[in-house]
Amino acid sequence: MKIVIIDDEPKTRNGLNRIISAHEGWTVVQSFSSAEEAIAYLKEISIDVVITDIRMPGKNGLDMIAELHEYAPKTSFIILSGYELFEYAKRSIDLKVRKFLVKPVSPSEVREILEQIESELTEKKPEKKINLIPDETNNLLVYRAKEYVYLNYKNKCSLKDAASVLFVSPNYLSNLFKEKTGENFSTFLMNVRMEKSLDYLMDVKYTISEISEIVGFTDYRYYCTAFRKKYGETPKQYRNSHLRL
């Protein structure tokens, strides 16, 4: 699978390159620090996946994707952003972006979406049925609900809030989310907050109390209890064991 990375931060480009290069069959064929550089290349070369930041000097990532749609209709776009603005997510959905990842992203998030795209690329279904509108609509609702969580996990984020944004009832979204993902909305939200906290625990400039607030917990003790229940150790123990030299 051929992949292009676009980000004005060398640290981000290098980190993504390491994650991708470690996977057999994935190749970063080119990386760019600006959208303008990438556009000229992507108009001429067929690429499977483009991973791009939104805010860069010059043209932003969303404007670049809009310009490239006619030249790269089969390319999957993944957005990176350090800005959790719902306007960005909404426009990403309108542009049919495959994933909106909020920095700092975890390697598991990157691998998960790339594996999904790779699986779709390798599948051959010549007799695909057309009568899939209800399922496609429901899948989009679940996708948007997940994106809402990733954008708002640091703040007040509930099933009711997500349902309101998506113009469906909380009960309908709850049942649909469980049916399509196998887990409750609240469980998914908890897992996202926990996974995000793992990244912050690797940065010693944050106290564990600060991290609990950053990822959306209003009760520090509850965060520690939930963390221990999920990972078998306290946040402090996790940090110490993973930061050992």
What is the value of pTM for the model shown? Answer: 0.50
Superfamily of domain 2-122: Response regulator (3.40.50.2300)
Task: Name the CATH architecture for the domain at 134-245.
Answer: Orthogonal Bundle (1.10)
Smallest CA-to-CA distance from 160 within 176, 151, 144, 172 is with 172
pLDDT tens digits for 84-95? 555 555 555 556
- Tokens representing residue 84 in the block: 């959790």
More confident residue, 85 or 123: 123
Whether 62 and 35 have beta carbons less than 8 Å apart is answered as no
Choice between 206 and 130, residue whose per-residue pLDDT is larger: 206
Residue 132 has pLDDT above 50, yes or no: no
The two three-digit tokens of residue 228, written as one number: 């221990």
What residue segments make up the domains of the chain, in order of their start?
2-122, 134-245
* Tally of CB atoms within 10 A around 114: 23
**197 band by pLDDT with thresholds 50, 70 and 90:** very high
Q: What are the phi and psi torsion angles at 57 (to 5°)?
A: -55, 135
- Where would I find the beta strands (DSSP E) of the chain? 2-6, 27-32, 49-53, 76-81, 99-102
